Amino acid sequence: MTDLIYKEECYQIIGCCFEVFNALGYGLREKNYQKALEESLAQHNLSFESQIYVPLKLNDKIIGKYYLDLLIDKKIAIELKAGDHFHKRDIEQLFSYLKSANLKLGLLINFTNSGVQYKRILNLK
């Protein structure tokens, strides 16, 4: 059996997301959930940065740019969404972020009308 990567950190992050949802409910914009999640992460003494610039490079030339919603402990990318279900493009977006930032794990977190949903996205390269 394989252990989950960054299991404890993810448990804490997801707990903060549920805390935010329980306090605010459904129907807010992504940036509002992000601000609330930042507050919760800080209250739980989790190290994070927000809106982290990640360059997209080809042959050492910058050809584009990404911004991670949150980067937890310099190792877990967080992409926040507000809607009723995940979209394939959201998963692909986060995976692209992981590759460009050379990170192993990202959490796609969706604040839905029925609660918090999340997916762990791995970059094994």
Strand order in the sheet with 115-122: 48-58, 61-72, 76-82, 105-112, 115-122
Q: Where are the alpha helices (DSSP H) in the chain?
A: 7-24, 30-43, 88-101
State mean pLDDT over 55-63. 87
State mean pLDDT over 60-79. 94
- Using only the alpha carbons of the chain, give its radius of gyration: 14
Provide the pLDDT for residue 56.
86
State mean pLDDT over 115-124. 95
Residue 2 in any domain: the answer is no
Residues in the chain: 125
Task: Measure the CA–CA gap between 115 and 93, rounded to whole angstroms.
Answer: 22
State mean pLDDT over 18-38. 97
Residue 20 in any domain: the answer is yes
Quick check: pTM over 0.85?
yes
Nearest to 123 by CA among 93, 87, 81: 93
CATH classification at residue 80: 3.90.320.10
Total tally of structural domains belonging to the chain: 1
Residue 1 in any domain: the answer is no
Q: What residue numbers bound the domain in which 101 lies?
A: 7-122
Nearest to 16 by CA among 119, 120, 121, 116: 116
Residue 65, φ and ψ in degrees, nearest 5: -150, 150
Task: Indicate the average pLDDT of the chain.
Answer: 94
Residue 74 in any domain: the answer is yes
Residue 16 in any domain: the answer is yes
pLDDT at 59 over 90: no
Provide the pLDDT for residue 115.
95
